[in-house]
Amino acid sequence: MDRILAVLKKEFLQIRRDRMTLGIVLMIPLIQLLLFGYAIQTEVKHIPTTVFDQSLSAQSRDMLEAFTASGYFDVTMTADSYDVVTHNIDSGQAKVGIIFPPDFAHNLKRGTSAQVQVIVDASDSLLANQAIATANSIGLIKSQQILVQKMPSRQLPYDIRVRPWYNPDGITAYFMVPAILGIVVTMTMVILTSVAIVRERERGTLEQLLVTPIKPLELMIGKILPYIAMGYIQITVALLVGVLVFHVPIRGSLLQLYLLTLFFITASLGLGLMISNIAKNQMQAFQMSFFVMLPSILLSGFMFPRAAMPRFIYYLSDIIPLTYYLDIIRGIILKGIGFEYLIGQVTALLVFSIFFLVISTLKFKKKIV
Amino acid sequence: MEYAISTRELTRRFGDFTAVDSLTMDIIPGEICGFLGPNGAGKSTAIRMLCGILAPSSGMATVLGYDLLRETEKIKPKIAYMSQKFSLYDDLSVIQNLDFYAGIYSISARHRRKRMQEMLELAQLTGREKDLVANLSSGYKQRLALAAAIIADPELVFLDEPTSGVSPTSRRQFFEIIKTLAEKGTTVIVTTHFMDEAERCDRIAFINQGKLMALDAPDQLKQQFIAGCMVELTPPDPINYLDQLSSLPYVKETSLHGSQIHVLLAHEEYMSQLARDCGHTPEPIEPSLEDVFIHIARLRKEGGVS
Ligand SMILES: Nc1ncnc2c1ncn2[C@@H]1O[C@H](COP(=O)(O)OP(=O)(O)OP(=O)(O)O)[C@@H](O)[C@H]1O
Ligand SMILES: [Mg+2]
């Protein structure tokens, strides 16, 4: 106990003295959240749009109004020929072209289908998907309006109402901020602890420690504990940014979030410690950290939904702590669910923590070379 | 008598290379034993094995009565080790380092303050508790490293080149501390490259190419290895003079010490003959440990030591 306390105190003093570590702990969540939060807006709005209106009618103006009112299309250029439309899109000045044929108003009045041609620059698939989906629904909505006006019952035959739960407005930041928080925490925890042992080995202070009566487990625990505090500082900073800057609503219990986060922090610290016990020098420790962080980010469901992953990859993502934490943090923040729904995830993180700590302790020999 | 350390055929290999070769020695409790030998002789390797932080390839040893291989962790609370490389935390203060080791050795809260005060005095750092270790000069650093290592009042202390790179004054002060420790009954193993320090040890272990060449008190070593009469010559061109001297039949050995040549004569009576043969007056001198050192190293090269 004395020995754990001594190591813990020493680590705290060293962290306090080391501006670099403090900087990492405080700045990484700030910078990452702001960068990602703003940049990975998967929603694309205000797409520059060029319009070639051959109909020049009240009907075509009404339709165009519907496009711009959606907020997705900004008419930045008008065109007076197909060639101009082509040019505007080829040159990249416009991403979407909307073309009304000369008989647009005429067809509408006659009750036959009035065509609107929407050309989309699909080289940016995210943008294209958004533009296509929005154009389609605008078309549908407008058609419904007209149908309703004409139908005697004024009732549509089908009425499908899709309700996006938990994030009804489809705001990306809501979904991303909790995930980025998870990534930031695991990344800093792994990197900070991955050098914990190997740095002492390089400096020669480990050789001195090995001659003392300290036990490997005591050393490991003493090294991990101060970083749990660091993890909580990070979570707090990140949550503040999420709430104040991105207005992420926290629907669940904040207390539960903090409690359950402990298991994720310990799992990350354990992983870092394990790396530190395997790596020969600090450089290797860094490389190994990145080697494990990359799949975490790609496979955890942060970037791509797990449900869409091939079987093999899906199972692979089962052995990534972040996968479980994303369930926890998104669950609590967005869905407002409680511990009773997250027992499986918490158990998994606990198993990871113990596994990494045991491996670290076993791997740590009180011998040089 | 129970020895502080007792090794039998203790060996450590790194690949094909044997760093410590069948080391068999007994260390008497309370003595200061100096490990002497050229660079790469295996002194540090031997000490690391005896501290339990480097596994021997073969052989066995007991340290403070415990089996080195099976009871390593029982040995650790009772020994101290100061490695060749400075090993305190540079980014912590003097007192923080001492406090850390006091905690690691589980010194009770009751004794801790007093013990840390004593160690500060020993390192002559009273009043500078809050100084960052990185800012200390090397003499203070070495003393602080010793203080941190012996904070738990160990029975056995290993010091690996504790005085390399510090000023002569600091070296003397450091050796005074070592003497004091030994007077209180602590066994001290110390490696050094300085002959004056070696002279102050109770016994010296000469190690060369991993092998123990001799283990005895300094005076004994001189008597044992330097048979004959040692004289000193100061010729104008000593280096070119060496071969000429060596070819004289009554000269047993020559060695260069700066601008002087040490010549070992088979007997005192050859002194006048040497004066005639070389035209310089030889001065009879007490053989130094260095002479012994050179002599033993040569024996090894020529492949003959018992
Ligand atoms: N971990 C290691 N791996 C490989 N070789 C090693 C290792 N440690 C020591 N050696 C080799 O063993 C030999 C003895 O080294 P050691 O450090 O014990 O010598 P030393 O007597 O302490 O020398 P010095 O006076 O320079 O400190 C050297 O040749 C060294 O290169
Ligand atoms: Mg050495």
The confidence score (pLDDT) of residue A35 equals: 82
- Quote the tokens at residue A279: 């790596």
The confidence band for A169, taking pLDDT boundaries of 50, 70 and 90, is low
Helix (H/G/I), strand (E/B), else coil: A342: coil
CB contact under 8 A, B79 and A209: no
User: Do A156 and A281 have their domain in common?
Assistant: no
Q: Which range, A10-19, A130-139, A143-152, is most confident?
A: A10-19
Are the C-beta atoms of A235 and A325 separated by less than 8 Å?
no
| Residues in A 13-32 with any Cβ partner in B closer than 8 A | 13-14, 17-18
Identify whether A5 is part of a domain: no
Q: Whose Cα sits closest to atom 24 in ligand 1?
A: B39
Strand order, beta sheet including B5-14: B17-27, B5-14, B58-63, B66-67
By C-alpha distance, which of B204, B145, B132, B209 is closest to B177? Answer: B145
Q: Most B CBs within 10 Å: which of A5, A13, A14, A211, as the mutation test of the B interface?
A: A211
Residues 6+ apart with CB under 8 A from B19: B12, B13, B42, B45, B210
In testing the pocket of ligand 1, which one of B11, B12, B14, B208 has its CB within 8 Å of the most ligand atoms? Answer: B14
The confidence band for B303, taking pLDDT boundaries of 50, 70 and 90, is low
- Picking from A3, A18, A204, the nearest residue to B106 by CB comes out as A3
The complex's ipTM? 0.84
- Quote the tokens at residue B235: 């010729």
pLDDT at B306 over 60: no
Alpha carbons A289 and A268: distance in angstroms, whole number: 11
User: Do A232 and A310 have their domain in common?
Assistant: yes
Give the pLDDT mean for A292-316.
82
User: Do A219 and A148 have their domain in common?
Assistant: no
Alpha-carbon distance values, B253 to A201, B230, B246, B249, B275 (Å): 46, 9, 7, 10, 16
CATH code assigned at A58: 3.40.1710.10
User: Do A57 and A199 have their domain in common?
Assistant: no
Chain A positions touching B115 (Cβ under 8 A) are: none
Identify whether A117 is part of a domain: yes
Burial B48-68 (b: 16+ CB within 10 A, else e): bbbbbbbebeebebbbbebeb
Alpha carbons B203 and B198: distance in angstroms, whole number: 8
Are the C-beta atoms of A226 and A302 separated by less than 8 Å?
no
Mean of pLDDT over chain A: 85
Lowest mean pLDDT segment, chosen from A217-231, B146-160, B213-227? B213-227
Share of chain B above pLDDT 90, in %: 54
Q: Measured between alpha carbons, how far apart are the two ends of chain B, in Å?
A: 26
Q: What is the DSSP secondary structure assignment for residue B124, as one 8-state letter?
A: T
Rg value, chain B, Cα: 22
The confidence band for A148, taking pLDDT boundaries of 50, 70 and 90, is confident
- Quote the tokens at residue A229: 């505090």
Helix (H/G/I), strand (E/B), else coil: A116: coil
Are the C-beta atoms of B230 and B264 separated by less than 8 Å?
yes
Residues present in chain A in total = 369
User: Do A176 and A316 have their domain in common?
Assistant: yes
Give the pLDDT mean for A35-60.
81
- Our CA angle for B197, B199, B205, nearest 5°, is 90
The confidence band for A178, taking pLDDT boundaries of 50, 70 and 90, is confident
Give the pLDDT mean for A285-297.
88
User: Do A153 and A296 have their domain in common?
Assistant: no
Alpha carbons A292 and A304: distance in angstroms, whole number: 17
Are the C-beta atoms of A191 and A272 separated by less than 8 Å?
yes
Are the C-beta atoms of A33 and A177 separated by less than 8 Å?
yes
pLDDT at B3 over 70: yes
Residue at A1: amino acid letter:
M
Chain A positions touching B77 (Cβ under 8 A) are: 213
The confidence score (pLDDT) of residue A247 equals: 84
The confidence score (pLDDT) of residue B305 equals: 45
Domain boundary pick from A165, A193, A218:
A165
pLDDT at A165 over 70: no
User: Do A161 and A175 have their domain in common?
Assistant: no
pLDDT at A153 over 80: no
The confidence band for A257, taking pLDDT boundaries of 50, 70 and 90, is very high
- Quote the tokens at residue A173: 């930041």
User: Do A91 and A143 have their domain in common?
Assistant: yes
Alpha carbons B68 and B79: distance in angstroms, whole number: 12
User: Do A309 and A176 have their domain in common?
Assistant: yes
Q: Measured between alpha carbons, how far apart are the two ends of chain A, in Å?
A: 28
Are the C-beta atoms of A360 and A277 separated by less than 8 Å?
yes
CB atoms within 10 A of CB B80: 28
Helix (H/G/I), strand (E/B), else coil: B19: strand
Alpha carbons B35 and B160: distance in angstroms, whole number: 9
Alpha carbons A250 and A238: distance in angstroms, whole number: 13
What total of structural domains would you count in chain A?
2
User: Do A178 and A194 have their domain in common?
Assistant: yes
The confidence score (pLDDT) of residue B293 equals: 83
By C-alpha distance, which of B223, B232, B234, B291 is closest to B259? Answer: B234
In three-state form (DSSP H/G/I as H, E/B as E, the rest C), the secondary structure along B77-105 is HHEEEECCCCCCCCCCEHHHHHHHHHHHC
Q: Whose Cα sits closest to atom 6 in ligand 1?
A: B14
Give the pLDDT mean for A84-107.
90
Residues 6+ apart with CB under 8 A from B52: A211, A366, B63, B68, B72, B73, B75, B76
User: Do A256 and A234 have their domain in common?
Assistant: yes
Over residues A323-363, the pLDDT tens digits come to 999 999 988 988 888 888 889 999 999 999 999 999 988 88
Task: Please tell me the distance between residue A223's alpha carbon and the centre of ligand 2 in angstroms.
Answer: 30
User: Do A364 and A252 have their domain in common?
Assistant: yes
Q: Whose Cα sits closest to atom 29 in ligand 1?
A: B40
What is the phi/psi pair of residue A154, to 5°? 55, 30
Identify whether A31 is part of a domain: no
Q: What is the DSSP secondary structure assignment for residue B132, as one 8-state letter?
A: B
Alpha carbons A237 and A123: distance in angstroms, whole number: 38
Alpha carbons A193 and A199: distance in angstroms, whole number: 10
Identify whether A352 is part of a domain: yes
Give the pLDDT mean for A75-84.
90
Higher pLDDT, B273 or A3: A3
Identify whether A13 is part of a domain: no
Over residues A187-238, the pLDDT tens digits come to 889 988 888 888 898 888 999 999 999 998 899 899 999 999 989 999 999 8
Domain boundary pick from A148, A165, A182:
A165
Domain boundary pick from A165, A182, A203:
A165
Alpha-carbon distance values, B25 to A172, B4, B63 (Å): 74, 11, 12
- Picking from B77, B87, B106, the nearest residue to A208 by CB comes out as B87
Give the pLDDT mean for A32-48.
74
Identify whether A202 is part of a domain: yes
- Quote the tokens at residue B272: 């006048």
The confidence score (pLDDT) of residue B304 equals: 46
Lowest mean pLDDT segment, chosen from A90-99, A131-140, A160-169, B155-164? A160-169
Which ligand 1 atom is the nearest neighbour of the CA of B42?
18
Identify whether A240 is part of a domain: yes
Are the C-beta atoms of A328 and A167 separated by less than 8 Å?
no
pTM recorded for the entire structure: 0.79
CB contact under 8 A, A208 and B99: no
The confidence score (pLDDT) of residue B258 equals: 80
Helices (H), chain A: 2-17, 19-39, 58-69, 82-90, 104-110, 125-150, 172-194, 196-203, 205-210, 216-244, 254-278, 282-299, 311-316, 321-330, 343-363
Over residues B99-116, the pLDDT tens digits come to 999 999 999 888 999 999
Residues 6+ apart with CB under 8 A from B150: B80, B119, B157, B181, B186
Residues 6+ apart with CB under 8 A from A152: none
By C-alpha distance, which of A269, A366, A284, A267 is closest to A326? Answer: A267
By C-alpha distance, which of A283, A321, A286 is closest to A302? Answer: A321
By C-alpha distance, which of A113, A109, A120, A99 is closest to A54? Answer: A99
The confidence score (pLDDT) of residue B267 equals: 80
Q: Give the range of the structural domain holding residue A61, as residue numbers without chain letter.
A: 47-165
What pairs with residue B11 in β-bridges? Answer: B58
Query: Residues with beta carbon inside 6 Å of ligand 1?
Result: A 369; B 14, 19, 37, 39-45, 84
By C-alpha distance, which of B219, B211, B205 is closest to B289? Answer: B219
Give the pLDDT mean for A71-85.
89
Are the C-beta atoms of B266 and B228 separated by less than 8 Å?
yes
CB atoms within 10 A of CB A91: 8
Q: Whose Cα sits closest to atom 2 in ligand 1?
A: B14
Q: Within an 8 Å CB–CB cutoff, is residue A2 touching chain B?
A: yes
Identify whether A93 is part of a domain: yes
The confidence band for A43, taking pLDDT boundaries of 50, 70 and 90, is low
